[in-house]
Amino acid sequence: QVQLVESGGGLVQAGGSLRLSCAASGRTFSSYAMGWFRQAPGKEREFVTAFSWMGSSTYYADSVKGRFTMSRDNAKNTVYLQMNSLKPEDTAVYFCAARVRGGAYYVTNSYDYWGQGTQVTVSS
């Protein structure tokens, strides 16, 4: 069983930055492939970024490429999402997720564990 807890959300003006954190339980954190998704009101949960299964690559949605950066610290069992140049359309609840098997990194059904989410609101 893996528990994921996100933090770092908040209210920021357009053009600002936030860093989200996702702390994971379990001693095999390094074996999980992690991802971030987001869900805006009235919309489906969408892919933001994820590590490849072997961790050698990082994938980003086109909408965040060049502005968001995902990283991980295995010693702290934590993944991060650095968000720069934020836009009002980035407003959503952000979720981190972990998968213990292969699968499409951009599909929610590929992930086995989810955090509770953290709200990010970008004002114009």
Model pLDDT for residues 75-112, shown as the tens digit of each residue: 899 999 999 999 999 999 999 999 988 789 999 999 99
pLDDT at position 41 is 93
Model pLDDT for residues 23-65, shown as the tens digit of each residue: 998 767 778 899 999 999 999 999 999 998 777 899 999 999 9
pLDDT at position 52 is 83
pLDDT at position 11 is 98
pLDDT at position 27 is 62
Reference 8, options 99, 85, 121; nearest CA is 121
Distance CA 3, CA 102 (A): 19
